[in-house]
Amino acid sequence: MKINLKTVVTMALLATLWSCQETGTDQKSEPITPDVELTAEEITNGVLTPEVLWKFGRIGSTQLSPDVQSVLFTITRFSMEANKGVTNIFTIPVVGGEPQELTTNKTNDFSPQWRPDGAKIGFLSTRSGDTQLWEMNTDGTNPTQITKIEGGISSFAYAPTGDRILYTKNVQIEKTPTELHPDMPKVNVRISDNMMYRHWNYWRDGSFRHIFVASYTDGKIGEAKDIMEGEAWDSPMSPHFSDDDVVWSPCGKIIAYACKKMHGKDLAVSTNSDIYLYHIEDNLTENITEGMMGYDQHPVFSPDGKRIAWLSMETPGYESDLSRLFTIDLETGQRKYVTKGFDQNADNVAWSSCGSSLIFISGINATQQIYRVSLESSEIKKITDGWHNYTWFAPAKGTLVAQKMTMSMATEFFTINSETGEEKQLTHINKHIYDNIKMGEVTQRWIKTTDGKQMLVWVILPPNFDETKQYPTLLYCQGGPQSTVS
């Protein structure tokens, strides 16, 4: 007897559980009602199908409260009929408990952030049309629109001091086809005379993501300044536009950002981005990674604001290069290669609360684990272990709050003892689904390659697998080439 091929193929669709995250939209979202509960037929069948897969809630943007007592996060759910998703905002205590839904709007509310004083929560929403900044009380009441910026915004961040705010939005720098040819007002074309005209699925249209900074007082924003005025470059950098590319200093007077300030062929063939500091009071910009020719991104200020950590690649044009962890002393300009001799990539960097160590995520044996490196001794310690991926974390007074997923579990929140690695699950977002379906067994195998090396592969067996029977097989090979199936 052979099982339905659809069941086996569905196991491959688990990849969407690993990579789904909510994204903002610049278009007005029509209200939808997401699919959540399983049908009687789905419960009877008891297996994962594409329809069941789309009923999973996807955890997204996350931030700890200023007092590190609560986790602020989003869940995105989907409607098969509408072919759309909707994102809402939740909180849960770090010590555990039931998530509290703060927004129940049927349009997208996303990218939530605590105001530095903890009195309000800021978030982006499409409920008024374009994506704008809103604020609400910490219990979700009194949602108020803060910005009414033409074309909407794409991200924002409060200064730690609470007196300023930054946001990003697209600015038209180059002329549009209609502006170039006013005699053809109905023209619908792209004109490209520069590289790169497209990066993955992101098309360059002459507009660029810029950073704006403005004063902020209790929900009121002053006149904003474009700190990249006239520049034909993106920050956050395209095509990923990661919010981690733009950060505030603890004093609220400096903005660090990653940018690739190149044109033409250099832009297309080189990966040489840099970390820049914009000094608000002096209106000055400095490059702190000048001479480092590879990919530099994701700056993070130390708690005292005297140092910056960031991720750096060495070789320009080699986007699969080793992702290294560096720091710089902002007073002396001295740089330190923190993970020298560590033959793994570093990612998702955070400072310990005392500033004596850095915590980061690194891939090993097709899993993503959390590590700590001492800045004094350069000793690197692996904190977590197991067949899972940690994709986000934040230090919380001796504990780490983290997002964890496996090949059999969509992302959930866990707390981790930062010394022992002991874990405790905080959320069970999709328990109502797992209680009614059986997942396939995941096994790990090492295969000898033609060049004599060992290659790890994952084997996911169908539910109720019988080794005496034959089943259809789906082979999945990851591209990259630096990416792993993990």
Length of the chain: 486
Q: Worst-scoring range by mean pLDDT, 12-21, 191-200, 305-314?
A: 12-21
- Measured distance CA(458)–CA(472) in Å, rounded: 16
In 3D, which of 261, 290, 258, 252 has the Cα closest to residue 275?
A: 258
For 18, list phi and psi in degrees, rounded to 5: -85, -30
In 3D, which of 363, 375, 296 has the Cα closest to residue 338?
A: 375
User: What single-letter DSSP state applies at residue 245?
Assistant: G
The full 3-state SS of 372-422, as one line of letters, equals EEECCCCCEEECCCCCCEEEEEEEECCEEEEEEEECCEEEEEEEEECCCCC
Q: Are 82 and 128 a contacting pair, CB within 8 Å?
A: no
Instruction: Kindly write down the DSSP assignment for every residue of 439-460, as one continuous string.
Output: PPPEEEEEEE-TTS-EEEEEEE
Q: Which domains does the chain have, with CATH numbers?
A: 25-441 (2.120.10.30)
pLDDT in tens, 266-316: 999 999 999 999 999 999 999 999 999 999 999 999 999 999 999 999 999
- Measured distance CA(277)–CA(262) in Å, rounded: 18
pLDDT in tens, 51-74: 999 999 999 999 999 999 999 999
Residue 431, classed as helix, strand or coil, is helix
**Sole residue written with tokens 């007196």:** 163
- Measured distance CA(143)–CA(137) in Å, rounded: 7
User: What single-letter DSSP state applies at residue 244?
Assistant: G
- Measured distance CA(50)–CA(32) in Å, rounded: 20
Higher pLDDT, 4 or 28: 28
Which residue blocks in 287-381 are alpha helix, DSSP H? none
Q: Are 30 and 83 a contacting pair, CB within 8 Å?
A: no
Q: What is the per-residue pLDDT for 435?
A: 98
pLDDT of 23 above 70: no
- Measured distance CA(94)–CA(67) in Å, rounded: 11
Average pLDDT for residues 92-99, to the nearest whole number?
A: 96
Average pLDDT for residues 134-143, to the nearest whole number?
A: 98
Averaged pLDDT of the chain: 92
CB atoms within 10 A of CB 148: 12
pLDDT in tens, 334-368: 999 999 999 999 999 999 999 999 999 999 999 99
pLDDT of 206 above 70: yes
The two most distant CA atoms of the chain are separated, in Å, by 75
Q: Are 135 and 91 a contacting pair, CB within 8 Å?
A: no
Average pLDDT for residues 83-112, to the nearest whole number?
A: 95
